[in-house]
């Protein structure tokens, strides 16, 4: 519920000032895909590469955020929506601070990803779709979650009994079954150079 007594307080130092101080163009790379598609692994590899290039970068990982900021949320459709809303707002603050932000979340619903995109200026939101088949993700099953979902131990599991709406026109599409992570990092770095973010 909106409180009419809360007023936005403007400050003199702006996003552009913080970006110029860091000598980079802030943005959000939003990694989306099924569990086991490689989102966190690729985002971590990209974070290391960008850090090595002396870029100010921060990674927000779905599981890690649920240990703190979103620990009160479950995995129902409504909780998933709120999970993405909160991380979208948090990412916006990090971008406003002048950082290159990497967010690795399943984020299964197109409407929620579009909502996060709407928080950012043109070109700041970069959707990275981990285009990995359910079969491949289930074969990998690094956390044993698909097995639990198939046995009924986990409810509302994306790809099993909860839908995943794949992006139709992501800025970057990664076929993680075909390329290794080093090549995928190169693909993202090339995109960032081409769009004058690096």
* Architecture field, domain 27-194: 3-Layer(aba) Sandwich (3.40)
pLDDT confidence of residue 74: 83
Q: Which residues are catalytic?
A: 107
Element (H, E) at 112: helix 110-117
Residue 16: C-alpha distances to residues 37, 117, 151 (Å): 34, 19, 51
Q: Can you give the pLDDT of all 198 residues of the chain as single tens digits?
A: 567 777 777 888 999 999 999 999 999 999 999 999 999 999 999 999 999 999 999 999 877 778 887 888 888 878 888 989 999 999 999 999 999 999 999 999 999 999 999 999 999 999 999 999 999 999 998 889 989 999 999 988 998 988 999 999 999 999 977 668 899 999 999 999 999 998
Give, in degrees to the nearest 5, the angle at Cα 29 between 58 and 49.
55
First to last CA, the chain: 40
What pTM, to 2 d.p., does this model score? 0.90
- Domain boundary assignment for the chain: 27-194
- 129 is written with which tokens? 């779709």
- 155 is written with which tokens? 């409810």
pLDDT confidence of residue 69: 79
């Amino acid at each position: 519920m909106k409180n009419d007594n809360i007023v936005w307080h403007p400050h003199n130092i702006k996003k552009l000032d913080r970006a110029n101080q860091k000598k980079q163009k802030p943005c959000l790379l939003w990694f989306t895909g099924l569990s086991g598609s490689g989102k966190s692994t690729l985002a971590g590899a990209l974070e290391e590469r960008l850090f090595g290039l002396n870029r100010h970068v921060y990674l927000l990982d779905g599981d890690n955020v649920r240990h703190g900021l979103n620990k009160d949320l479950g995995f129902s459709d409504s909780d998933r929506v709120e999970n993405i809303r909160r991380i979208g707002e948090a990412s916006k603050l990090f971008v406003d601070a002048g950082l290159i932000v990497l967010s690795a979340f399943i984020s299964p619903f197109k409407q929620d990803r579009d909502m996060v995109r709407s928080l950012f200026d043109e070109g700041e939101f970069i959707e990275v779709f981990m285009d990995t088949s359910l079969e491949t993700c289930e074969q990998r099953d690094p956390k044993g979650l698909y097995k639990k979902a198939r046995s009924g131990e986990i409810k509302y599991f994306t790809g099993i009994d909860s839908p995943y709406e794949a992006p139709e026109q992501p800025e970057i599409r990664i076929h993680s079954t075909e390329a290794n992570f080093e090549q995928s990092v190169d693909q993202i770095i090339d995109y960032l150079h081409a769009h004058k973010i690096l």
